[in-house]
Structure 1
Amino acid sequence: MLAAQVTDHSYKGWQASLALQFRHTPDKTLLHSAHHVGPLTVQRPFYPEGETCHLYLLHPPGGIVGGDRLDITVRLDAKSQTLITMPGASKFYRSGGQQACLNQHFYLEDASTLEWLPQDTILFPGANAALRSVFHLKASSTLMAWELFCLGRPTIAETFSHGTLESRLEVWIDDEPRLVERLHLSDGDLTPVAGHPWVGTLLFYPATNDHLETARERLPALENFAGATLTDGLLSVRFLSHDNLICQRVMREIWQSLRPLLTTKAACSPRIWQT
């Protein structure tokens, strides 16, 4: 069925959406509402560390093809604390010509904390993918987020030899743009990423020079294609790599090191990462 969907220009695609809202209570953060259309849903929240709500986002079909459009909206009410991840990688499969779109918008109210820690996003050769992630923060919000793109399937020596990736990443604080970043790849030209199959970004807010130095101390394993910058309280870590294991290790080490500094809570890794 999947192969037919990929090559059939008449395929309409999934039109799926998921809207989540989290609310603070004296005991813990609650998933106040969850509305979904199509194959996007979540598992029941759980609380391995008390107040913070841990949530797994699910996309049952397991992959995204040309013609699919997925819209995810996450809202955190004041003082709410939420960690969101996924059981597995997101996959953008080869397209017969239509574009596959994933739009993600996050809204953080005063003193709320979002940890957006998805698994990697795999782009198969021939994918036609448009991804947009936008974070809307208040000055008193706390954000820890990352994204990791895998171009092709390096473990079987497969590259992103053809196809298109349009990626846009934005951070707005009190309605002012703090980061607007775009990545465009097409026709097998990986020059913008120096030929690397793994492309990663981590974001932390509010950050200081101490946070910047803590992040930089963990970058040597990524050798010469990694860096961290601090701009108006937003810490951005970017890297390119040929080794997924090193990517995963360094990303988690940076998050584990900075989380106690930003929230006063020790890192509590989602159990799904161990499976």
Structure 2
Amino acid sequence: MDAAAPEGTVGRSSPRMQRSSGTGLVSARRGAGGESRLFDLYQEGSARIRLPNSHSAGRLEAVLLNTSGGMTGGDRLAWRCEAGDGTHLTLATQTAERLYRAVDGRAETKVHLTVGRGARLDWLAQETILFDGARFSRSITCDLAEDASLLLCEPLVFGRSGMGEIVQTGALADRWTIRRAGRPVHIEALRIEGAIDDMLQGAAVAGGRRAHATVLLLSPEAEACLEPARAILGESGGASFFDGKLLVRLMATGALALRRRLLPLLLLLRGGYALPRCWSI
């Protein structure tokens, strides 16, 4: 008769891998002087939230961290962020999120954003970098009040071009759902699985460019930003305005080239307000 398997293992040859998980919550409320103040903050596991001093008067800025140093199969991360009525909340990730080869399962991130009446929320994530063999699922859900504004930025990089890395295989599933006053106003889903780099070589897919970004702005200023955004993008991407939203997609050969277009674009869409300092580190 076989001896009982040691604690922390499953059978003889399948060790139970340690997985990371984290949950973070941050919300803003309007202060007596009209400024945006921290109302609630919760952090658990690998999720951490920092509140740096901001030079944007009356605005609240939060930096989101994943202390696990990256994600792999079975890791879980969840963020819930709320800009209360009349507030302005800017959220940025401290650094790029790295998705490593998954032995089993997928890494998963869930983001839920809520923006109240007359409020604005800027979600300025830095790059998500997929390494060869990574398997990643992400969902971003945003609930906006009728007159709320939202800026959403998500850059995505397949391997580090400066290191000669290529994502031969992997899987990515990314779904965005944006609702205004309960009505869907923007839904998109991206799924790519299998021989990823071969797919990216296709002229109708990415033409060999491995760094991409999607930027979405829903605000009264969105239409006025259309032509200036196109001037910044040049031939690296496209911008369109419809149904009260500005949608931008851009591509580049690598993360650095992507940033050269993305930084001035975000500065434009933020009305000239500087980006969080973590974007400059």
TM-score, reference length from structure 2:
0.87
1:121-132 mapped onto 2 (5 Å cutoff): 121-132=128-139
Match of 2:110 among 96, 103, 115: 103
Higher Rg of the two aligned structures:
2
**1:252 maps onto 2:278 in alignment:** no
Partner of 1:198: 211
Match of 1:229 among 225, 240, 253: 240
Shift, 1:212, TM fit? 1.2
Match of 2:162 among 155, 165, 175: 155
Identity over aligned pairs, percent: 24
Following TM superposition, where does structure 1 have runs of at least 4 consecutive aligned residues deviating by more than 4 angstroms? Answer: none
- 2:225 and 2:253 map into 1 onto residues whose CA distance is 26
Deviations 1:96-120 (A, max 9, x none): 0211100101010101111111110
Shift, 1:245, TM fit? 2.3
**1:14 maps onto 2:20 in alignment:** yes
Match of 1:167 among 162, 166, 174: 174
- 2:233 and 2:280 map into 1 onto residues whose CA distance is 23
Shift, 1:145, TM fit? 1.7
Decide whether the 8 Å contact of 2:160 with 2:254 is kept in 1: no
Deviations 1:162-184 (A, max 9, x none): 11111112221111111111111
- 1:86 and 1:122 map into 2 onto residues whose CA distance is 13
Partner of 1:267: 273
Shift, 1:258, TM fit? 2.6
- 1:102 and 1:9 map into 2 onto residues whose CA distance is 24
Shift, 1:124, TM fit? 0.7
Aligned residues: 261
Aligned amino acid, residue 25 of structure 1: G
Decide whether the 8 Å contact of 2:23 with 2:77 is kept in 1: yes
Secondary structure at 2:256's aligned position in 1?
Answer: helix
Structure 1: tracts of 5 or more residues without a match: 1-7, 261-265
Decide whether the 8 Å contact of 1:86 with 1:119 is kept in 2: yes
Partner of 2:189: 182
Decide whether the 8 Å contact of 2:157 with 2:254 is kept in 1: no
Change (3 A) 1:24 1:198: same
Match of 1:75 among 82, 90, 99: 82
- 1:166 and 1:193 map into 2 onto residues whose CA distance is 17
- 1:199 and 1:208 map into 2 onto residues whose CA distance is 21
Structure 2: tracts of 5 or more residues without a match: 1-13
Secondary structure at 1:219's aligned position in 2?
Answer: helix
Q: What is the CA RMSD across the aligned residues, in angstroms?
A: 1.8
Partner of 1:214: 228
Change (3 A) 1:97 1:166: same
